[in-house]
Structure 1
């Protein structure tokens, strides 16, 4: 093979090599440019106003720890459970509510501190316990303040409730709503209580409310403020003679085992303030806040209806107990209790204020005829 032939072959094959090289280089450059363009496009998409922050919740599940002190088979326990189910359903499982009942996480003496510090996200204490920190809340403990269930609803959802929920100033706690239980009754282990004189010198367990304490002072009974989950033990050892509570709590905690005398007095209403840790709440997206509020509204309406049913059911069950004597106050007896407690209103007006007290009287006048 001569030199001209070799040169020809070299040029042909060398050209193929160069052509292949340029083709490969073109592919590489095209890929890099595409990556840059696509990357810029993704960043542009992230920055648009149309970005749906609902998708953010899919990346990480949010847990709400909800602590309360009563049994699960009570109005509050069942409403909390309903709320948890609704939150999970409305957020497609992105938010889950873990409920800690019976004071298993925090009791009613330390749950407020826990929510303040962010150690728990939600609590629902009895309104009476809030009055120890915010005295105006004592308006909900006034004896015979709200004569019917409709009156209670008007107080919770109207001017009184809105004022109280906004009264949690300088705290890490946001007030959300009120939950329902029922009217309080008197129990004791000594004798049947019919008139105010019947509690003279008896010792009662009460919630830490200045208004409730003054009620019992007015009828010459002594009191001890004890945690709810310690009440049964103190009844058992006879440290206290009696207590006041809803029938659902009396029955679910078996207080009747040491309190054979029950007086259906309906002298006050036991409900709950529902609170959430404020920094936690503010960390949630508007979408998640709306979902929680919608679930809360639906659960509250559900709980209001079922609270009446549950207390009626437990009343029927309690009447079947041979060891229990139940007395229903007559109209005349109730009037004597109201008269005995008139002084409580006078003493609490300076703390609660004329504006809210006027609202209580307006509600009383509206619903007393329907009692």
Structure 2
């Protein structure tokens, strides 16, 4: 395992120096699907920094690259996914920083579950249907800590299930005997088996009803407070992130188009795409308002148009948007919101007036 000691300056991204005690830095990550002369670029030089103990929400429409970012950063991309460039620097508390993309297979296997773990979207597909729940958690512990006795692994599995609110008598249950919410909790328990410092959650509440979604979110917030791990929470529902996330990053067509504090992104969106996402969900409180939504469909990544990939759907697009792809950077209001980043010409072209709905207020 090679230690990394390079500086963290990243053009077009929130530098690690602006994030208190960074645990993960994704630098210039580019991913393509397909081999040969015409691969499809699905992530285009993405930069993202996660602070220690922070919950970062990653949101966007289906197909925008959220899951690909998570799987690429942890080297879980299935073929024909190929990482073309980038670094993914992990900074553990008790270990030298290292680039996940440069790890040998043996070191990568050791780092998974110990340093970082993933809760996948489909719990029923992630759990083995022919093995009891307790045995699956015990196997995860034994695979990474072979010297642990079986009785100790059993006690650890029981403790983990109790920690996520599942009765220990469910140790002998098969996945099909559990509700959807219990299966998702079991996946969280398994991911926490070795007390990782980073937990990546790929749409863990998508298949659950709203009541169970709320319970899972509260569970995650409570566990993060108790155990102190960092979280990247992936979802297409921005409204889910407002109460639990510290910061939100919005993705579109393989790029991050806005980063901001959760409350700032919700109350004062700067990118038209963020505004459209927020207008697609009804408010839980306050006066009724008409839902806006976003016209059209996401672009074909195999044939991206010139300029900003959102221009064809943007109500505020102008000539420059159709010929030049904007770079993620500070807004015109950087003096009052120094940590917000937006990829939009509305905030960088001095000859264009920022629409009132996207302006400082």
Q: Identify the TM-score tier after normalising by the shorter chain.
A: under 0.3
Structure showing greater Rg:
1
TM-score using structure 1 length:
0.22
Q: Specify which structure has the higher proportion of helix.
A: 1
Higher relative contact order (CA 8 A, sep 6+): 1
TM-score using structure 2 length:
0.22
